[in-house]
Every structure is written in structure tokens, then in C-alpha cells.
Amino acid sequence: MQNSSASLAPYFSPRGIALVGASTDPSKLGYGLARNLVQCNYQGVVYFINPKGGSLLGRPIYPTVMDLPDPVDMAIILIPAAGVANVLKECGKRGIHAVIVASGGFRETGDQGSKLEKELMDIARHFGIRMIGPNCIGLLDTHLPLDATFLPPPGPPPGDVAFISHSGAICAAVIDWARGQGFGLSRLVSLGNQADVNETDVLAPVAEDQFTRVLTLYLEGVSDGQRFVHEARKITRQKPIVALKVGRYPSGQRAAASHTGALAGQENAFNAAFRKAGVIRADTTEELFDWARALAWCPLPKGRAIAVLTSAGGPGVTAADALEMNGMSLAVLMPDTQVKLAKLLPPAASLNNPVDMLATASPEQFAACLQVLLTDPGVNGVLVVTPPPPMHTAGAVAKTMIPVIHNSEKPVTIALMGERLIQEAVEHFRAARVPEYRFPERAASALAVLAQRAEYLDHDRDSQFVQAHVDKDLVQKVLNQRGKNLGYLSASDTSAILQAYHLPGVPMRLATTPDEAVEFAHELGYPVVLKIASPDISHKSDIGGVMLNLVDSQAVSIGFAEIISNTQKVFPGADIHGVYVQRMLPAGQEVILGAIQDAQFGALVMFGSGGVEVEGLKDVSFALAPLTLQDAEWMLDNTWAGRRLHGFRNLPPADRQAVLKAITLLGQLSADFPQLAEIEINPLRVFPAAQGIAALDVRMRLA
């Protein structure tokens, strides 16, 4: 079945629509859907189908789909589940290739419903039908216009924010809430069970809509993670996507042998996927639409330095805190700006940022001071905060500021604090498409998202996936030699793969007796490290399976015996291959580097604080492979382990460039060979600047 935007075109530009299940009973959903199709001012032809015949809303009711005249491009089916399959067959025979199954009673109800849903898909594939649903509320296009839902009127006002949702119930709430919040929707698509058409399918056709400036998504998951990232990334270069992914806190988490596997849960994978695709992730429904309004209506800032303009000290400080909390900064005002403000304001006013004009500020002072701040070259945007003015109306303040905001290329968000006394101002700002919020925290959050969007577009222009010259053939040879022998790779195989991808390992020897361990220690040079060699032991140090800084043959011989003894006590049945001998390396900073194959999104790379406490610290970041240099930089900047590489107190700066290279190489390896289910380098020792790195302990699992 086609997955192209063209195959979905009839949903968004139908010449004629057939409603199967139209009802003359006003208490039935079939009546509500018929009413909406007629009353929405849709310019195409609407046909009603019900075996009972008759007429509805001044239109004839046809007995079957086969009886319909042309044109009919889309059908909506709203009848009991048991009868849907036969109607879908009729649609196929009639040549209707776009169908919305609004009926419930399918997969969401259990095994019998799942069988019915599978039958629908078999029919759809046979006839080349694209199907939205089942168990959905349909779709809306406020500009066409078209209301193919059974939701109660009035529908949303025309706007520039599209909404794609896995939940039908939230669509009804969002429509009503949007109207109350003063913003409109362009298109709304309820996907229901997604037996065929899913969230990724509709991204492009919705984004192609000339009236849609921002896409918002309510997701319970994604159907094909890698395809979603690919499609969303193409769109976010042109239009922003904001997503609310629910189900963040599953009650259980799968067990995993490695730290990487334990920490790389579903949510970290989604965060990495959204970041790679340029999708902005909201934590709440309120954020979803707070941010959408700002993205639809505001220019993007050229930096994160913001000025706060207020008529009250306390709210100004609150705004300053909120900006800092959201990763923004208070702009340092130019002396010339402060001189201009001083001429506009009374002596008691604060001319520093936040600029406090005092409670007596007039509408004209609001506008003039806003103009001054917006012309300051060090100001990237302005957050205006005002409670109800005691001497003037909030409406008058809004009216004077709107022309200034419209004439600026910098974003302005408004925190109108209050309720009844600010309603006139609220209406003015909404009509003028200026985003206003009740509290400074929400207005600051919106500015931060605008900055995030600007940075994404700026970085995305220059970002290229890093591709190093590596020896893929050697890795393939190593994996081929194992045949169907899955599980953890041997130390020699692991070492060969590291070498093929220029990831510096530490030479090691596998000793099966104390005498062999001593011989290898002499060969490698003292001091040495001993580690238990067993595919059954994940965390060697936890069981006394590691001995450090052994300086002579006696210490090595005793250490060998102790490691074997410790392991047998804790894991009596463990498969012990012997003991690894490694040269003890100079001191350095220790980090963890890992990769797993996520079932949805593919190769997922992790970086963070290494050692035995990594799961407790959870100082880690994730990114999807392949990686750009910016991705790797972000991973370092978003962990203490990465920031510490610059140097901290008595720690000298470490070889950060070597770590960046290792992250991108590991991403390339995991993307090139998805059969490597888990790779973990813990610890990766980072030596002082320009002195390189060394992978001290490496595990690779084949699956």
C-alpha cells in the first residue's frame, strides 16, 4: 500500500464525501457528523448513506455506497463494527480510495475486535484503500473548510496550528480549549487505532498546508521510529513540530546486563529521536500549545539575552528567575539604552534589567520603553510583565504596544497577570497574534523554545554526519567467523573491532594459570591490572573480580588466585575463561561510552560519568546514530562528565577532541553493524589534553 502524501490527498481536498451511517436521530453520532458536514460550509458534495433511505438535512439518503453518483473521493464509515468490512469492500468496488472508519469496536476491545481490524486491513490492501482509524473522530480543515467529525459545534476558529492526535477524546478538549485561549487550528487529524494511516504518514500532507505554520502532535508511541525521524527531520527544516509524548513512566523497565542497556529506556530513546528530528518535546498539554502559539506568531531570536519590562518589581524578579531557569539570560543593557529609558521614566524607576517602570507607568511609557529595549543590539527579545495597571486599563496598554511589537524583528511575549481586569488586553493581543500568558514562567518558557528553534535551524545548516575511514570488512570478517554464535564477543574479537574503527583499546592477554599471568605481566610491563574473564560477569569490580596496580610477579600470582576464588564464591556456576592481564595506565578522567540497538529508533549512543556508579549517578546523555559533531558536542555539554573535560579544580583539561571523535566513531560502528546489540566502554580513560584516550574495559554483545 502506498505511503506517499499523494495517496492521502483525497482526505485534504475531497470533491465529494460519503457518510455511511448517517442518522436522522439527533441523539446519534451519525446525525452529529452529518450536521457538521453540512454546516461547516464545505464546498464539495456530501452524500448520506443508510439502508433505511429517506432524507436528512434537506438531502437524500442513499441505500448503499454503490448507488452514489460522482464525484466521491472520501468515505466516512460510522456504523457498528460488524458491518464495516462489507461497506469497506463496497468502497473499494466503487473506486473510493480514502476512508475514515470512525466506528469503534476493533483492536481496542480485545481479540475479536483485533480479528475484525485485520479483516479491514486485508480488504484495504486488496483495493488500494488508505484508511484512517478505526476508532477515531475523523479530521478537520478549517480553511477548506471541512468538519468530518462528530464533535459538538462550534468547531475551532481558522488558525495556523495543526494538531495530529492518537487520542480522539483529547481532540474534543483541545478544540474547545483552543477557542477559549484565542488561537485557531488549521488542520486536525484523529488517528485512532492506526490500522493503516499513522502519525508519520500524515506529517507531510499536513505540513504542506499553506495555512499551517506549526504542527503539534499528541503521541502514545510511533509506528516506525526510524521513518518518523527521517520524515520529521525533513519537515522541521521548514516548519516547527512540537510533540507531547505520553506514557513517560512505565511501571517496569526491562532488565539489562550493561549500564547502557539499563539506562537507555524508551524515554531516553524518544528524547534522542526528537532531538535528531528537530522535534520540540513538550512535557504538558499546556506547554504544547503555549509553545505552538509563540512559534506561529513570533520571529526567532538571534540569541538568548532577554530584557524584562515590567510595572511591578516582584513579577519582574519572577520573570528573571524564570528566564534563567529556562536557559535564557538577562541582557546587559547598553548605556545609551539606559539614558533613553531615564528620559522616559520617573527617577525612582529601575533602569537595569529587569526594567521596572513602577506601577504608575502609562500606556505610552510601556510602548516607548519597549521600543527602546527592542532597539538595543544586546537584547534578543523582550518579556513584558504587567499586573492590572492601577491608573490605566490593561486594554490601553496592549493597544499601544501592539504596533511596536509588529514592527520589530525580535520576539516579544507578554505575561498578563490577573483574570477579569486584563480581559480587554487579552482580546487585543490575541487578535493581533501576540502570545500572552497568565504568568511569567509560561512567557519565559515560550521565549526559550523560540531560542531552541533558532539554534536548531542555525546548527542544522552546517551539520554533517561524521563518517571516518574505517575497516568495515575486518569487522564483518570477525562477525562472520562467529556464525550463529551469539552473545558476548571474546576479548580478541572485541579488540579487533575497536582497532577497525580507530577506538583505542588497551592490549590485554588472557591467562589461564598464575604462571601465565606472571609471564604476560613481564611482557606488558609493570604495574598491571587483572580482571576476571567470564561472559557471565557483567560488573567485575562488584564481586572482587578486578585487581589494580600490581607491581611484581608475587602480587600477580596472588591476585590471580584471589580473583578466581572471589568469582567462584559469588557465582559458583560461572563460565570462567581465565584472567585478563593489562598494563596499568596513567591516571585520567573516566567516562562511559556505550551504544545499544533500540527496537524503535536503531543505534542509540550513550555518554556520561563512568565507573561503577553510573546507574546511580545517571549523568548520561543519549543521541541517535549516525552522529554529527554537534550531536557529540551536545552530549558532552549536557553531562557533568563532559563539562569536566574542560578541567575542574585540580583536574587539568582532558583530551576532549579525542572523546568527541570516539563518540562519533562508536555511533558509526553501531549504525553500520546493528547486529552488535550492545557495546559498552566503561571506563574510557581520558588523558590530559592532546594525550588521547584508552578503552579500559569493553563489552560487545551480538544478537
pLDDT for residue 70 is more than 80: yes
The tens digit of pLDDT for each residue in 533-588 reads 988 887 788 899 999 999 999 999 999 999 999 999 999 988 999 999 999 999 99
Q: What number is the average pLDDT over the span 335-350?
A: 97
215: β partners: 162, 241
Is residue 512 very low, low, confident or very high in pLDDT (cuts 50, 70, 90)? Answer: very high
Closest CA to 204 of 45, 368, 11: 11
Please give the backbone phi and psi of residue 19, each rounded to the nearest 5 degrees, phi first.
Answer: -105, 110
Enter the C-alpha cell of residue 187.
488542520
End-to-end Cα spacing for the chain = 31
Residue-level pLDDT at 258: 57
What is the pLDDT at residue 482?
87
508 has a pLDDT exceeding 60: yes
User: Hey, how many other C-beta atoms are within 10 angstroms of the C-beta on 303?
Assistant: 16
pLDDT, position 250: 57
Higher local confidence (pLDDT), 183 or 380: 380
Question: Measured at the alpha carbon of residue 334, what is the angle toward residues 330 and 339, in degrees to the nearest 5?
Answer: 120
Q: Would you say residue 71 has pLDDT above 70?
A: yes
Q: 7 pLDDT exceeds 90?
A: no
**Mean pLDDT for the stretch of residues 425-452:** 97
The set of residues, in sequence order, having a beta carbon less than 8 Å from that of 157 and lying 6+ positions away, is 142, 178, 179, 184, 185
Check residue 650 and give its pLDDT.
84
Other beta carbons less than 10 A from residue 4's beta carbon: 11
Amino acid 213: pLDDT: 98
Q: What is the pLDDT of residue 613?
A: 67
The long-range contacts involving 487-496, CB below 8 angstroms and separated by at least 24 positions, are: 487/535, 487/701, 487/702, 488/535, 488/699, 488/700, 488/701, 488/702, 489/700, 489/701, 489/702, 491/533, 491/580, 493/700, 494/698, 494/699, 494/700, 495/698
Contact, 413 vs 446, CB < 8 A? yes
Q: What is the pLDDT of residues 656-691, one digit of tens each?
A: 999 999 999 999 999 999 999 999 999 999 999 999
Residue 616 has a pLDDT of 74
At residue 233, does pLDDT exceed 90? Answer: yes
∠300-312-298 over CA atoms, to 5°? 15
State the DSSP H helix or E strand holding residue 67, giving kind and residue range, or none if neither: none
For 77-108, write each residue's pLDDT tens digit. 999 999 999 999 999 999 999 999 999 999 99
- What local confidence, expressed as pLDDT, does residue 492 receive? 85
- Per the CATH hierarchy, to which homologous superfamily does domain 297-462 belong? Succinyl-CoA synthetase domains (3.40.50.261)
For every residue of 668-697, which 3-state class applies, written as one string?
HHHHHCCCEEEEEEEEEEECECCCCEEECC
Residue 597 is classified by DSSP as E
- Predicted local distance difference test score (pLDDT) of residue 461: 64
Q: Quote the pLDDT of residue 251.
A: 44
Which residue intervals of 40-195 are DSSP H helices? Answer: 84-94, 111-127, 168-181
Q: Report how far apart, in Å, the C-alpha atoms of 219 and of each of 292, 312, 315 are.
A: 16, 40, 35
Average pLDDT score over residue span 322-345:
98
Q: Please indicate whether the domains covering 5-212 and 297-462 agree at the CATH topology level.
A: yes
pTM of the full structure:
0.91
Written as one letter, the residue type at 48 is F
- Residue 58, classified by CB atoms within 10 Å of its CB into exposed (0-12), middle (13-18) or buried (19+), is exposed
pLDDT at position 584, please?
Answer: 92
Percentage of the residues of the chain whose pLDDT score is greater than 90: 84
**How many Cβ atoms are within 10 Å of 54's Cβ, its own excluded?**
10
Paired residues of 189 in beta bridges: 139, 164
Selection from 3, 1, 456 nearest residue 224 by Cα: 3
Q: β-pairing, 698-702 with 693-695? A: unpaired
Whole-number pLDDT of residue 264: 64
Residue percentage of the chain with pLDDT more than 70 = 96
**Within a 10 A sphere around the Cβ of 517, how many other Cβ atoms?**
27
- Give pLDDT, residue 260: 59
- Whole-number average pLDDT of the chain: 93
Classify strands 436-437 and 412-416 as parallel, antiparallel or unpaired.
parallel
CATH number assigned to the domain covering 5-212? 3.40.50.720
Per-residue pLDDT at 254: 46
What average pLDDT does this structure show over 110-120? Answer: 96
Confidence of residue 261 (pLDDT cuts 50, 70, 90): low
Secondary structure of residue 694 in the 3-state scheme: strand
**pLDDT of 252 higher than 50:** no
The 10s digit of each residue's pLDDT in 350-391 is 999 999 999 999 999 999 999 999 999 999 999 999 999 998
Taking the C-alpha atoms of residue 183 and residue 500, their distance in angstroms, rounded to an integer, is: 56
- 427 has pLDDT over 60: yes
CATH superfamily of 589-702: ATP-grasp fold, B domain (3.30.470.20)
Positions of E strands within 316-443? 329-330, 355-356, 381-386, 412-416, 436-437
The cell for 62 is 442513499
Q: 161-196 burial, b if ≥16 CB within 10 A, otherwise e?
A: bbbbbbbbebbbebbeebbebbbbbbbbbbbbbbbb
Q: What is the mean pLDDT of residues 515-521?
A: 95
Tens digit of each residue's pLDDT (9 = 90 or more) over 36-58: 999 999 999 999 999 999 999 99
Q: CB neighbours of 37 closer than 8 A, spacing ≥ 6?
A: 17, 19, 46, 146, 147, 148
State phi, psi for 470 to the nearest 5 degrees: -125, 170
- CA separation, residue 477 to residues 341, 472, 473, 502, 688 (Å): 72, 9, 6, 17, 35
pLDDT at position 561 is: 96
Cα separation of 350 and 352, whole Å? 6
Torsion of CA 184, 188, 192, 196, to 10 degrees: -160
Backbone angles phi, psi at 487, to 5 degrees: 105, -160
- Beta-bridge partners for 684: 591, 695
> Averaged over 218-243, what is the pLDDT?
95
Q: Could you tell me whether strands 59-62 and 45-49 are parallel, antiparallel, or unpaired per DSSP bridges?
A: parallel
Q: Where are the domains of the chain?
A: 5-212, 297-462, 507-584, 589-702
Return the CATH class of domain 507-584.
Answer: alpha beta
Q: CA-to-CA distance for 95 and 355, rounded, in angstroms?
A: 65
Amino acid at 340: K
Q: In the predicted model, what is the mean pLDDT of residues 429-446? A: 96
What does the pLDDT read at residue 177?
Answer: 84
Residue 333: which H helix or E strand, with range? none
Query: What's the pLDDT score for residue 633?
Result: 95
Structure-block grid coordinates of residue 503: 577506538
Task: For residue 683, say if its preceding peptide bond is cis, omega within 30 degrees of 0.
Answer: yes
User: In whole angstroms, how large is the CA radius of gyration of the chain?
Assistant: 31
